[in-house]
Amino acid sequence: MIKAAITQPITPAIRSPFGQVVANLAPPPVPVDPLQARLEERFGAGQVGIMAIIQPTVLGQTALYKDAAMTDPVLSAGDPVGAIRDFSPWGYHLRAPTSSARGVYRTDGELHWIEFNGVNTQYETVPIAVDVNRVTVCAAVRKPSNLRSPLVCLDGDLAVAPNYAMYFPRTSSITGASFATHSSGTNYAVADSSNISAPASAVLTGRNVNTDTARLWYNGVLAADGTAAGNFSNFGTRKIVVGRDRTDFSSAELFGLYVGYEQVDDLAPLESYFAERVGVSL
């Protein structure tokens, strides 16, 4: 007699002294890496953007390189950082445009960050073509001073519309965080938080809610709205620039960054992940 092959795995069983099955021992669930879960949420449906995690090795891959060509891995605190891997499926890696523009990798043994010098440190992607007018930015960051500090800006020039930019802080007098969107001409929507003196660590999230409103969250709490008249058009083909706008360079310490060309409504998973990266409680 030919017996059919068993195609389902056999689950081990616990039997009583009388032979009855009293429990099946199913294998324990495999834990999902928190970053892998965030990547699936943010890019699993084909969304465009970048995810940068500041740590020498992430998910078994080199995440930081000394050179922009991404051939020489960062290994120790004090190493220059010429490139930051993008963990999105798109591979829009952040690269320093010149060797003098590289930041420095730092760690306290638990947290990991890149130190920007406030003079010329900057990173940029290749031009990214998008046909949307929505964006969400989430950054794990620490500011060591109250000097004006641009974190993210399209093409490094907020004056070129349409655009968006995040600051921590925006000016020496407004020492809190800021997220701005720029539709056209002089139509800026700026969401500024209250003053927060340096040093300060935070998870900052900025999003344009509709075509004329910028919204800012500080450590998971809605901090400010900003509105302006104007028709916010699609971003087109632009570089994501980190650490520079038209006039200034950042002096921030960057722990992680997400930029997505979508309106993220459930921010909690992303913000919670970045809170652990920068060592803050939400």
pLDDT at 12 over 80: no
DSSP state at residue 102: -
- pLDDT value of residue 15: 58
> CB neighbours of 229 closer than 8 A, spacing ≥ 6?
187, 212
pLDDT at 1 over 60: no
pLDDT at 129 over 70: yes
> CB neighbours of 33 closer than 8 A, spacing ≥ 6?
59
Q: Checking phi first, is residue 105 left (phi over 0); if not, alpha (psi -120 to 50) or beta?
A: beta
pLDDT at 2 over 70: no
Find how far residue 219's CA is from the centre of its chain: 14
**What is the pLDDT averaged over residues 253-265?**
96
62-93 confidence digits (pLDDT tens): 999 999 999 999 999 999 999 999 999 999 99
**What is the pLDDT averaged over residues 173-198?**
90
Q: With residue 40 as reference, give the H or E element that holds it.
A: helix 34-43
**What is the pLDDT averaged over residues 246-269?**
96
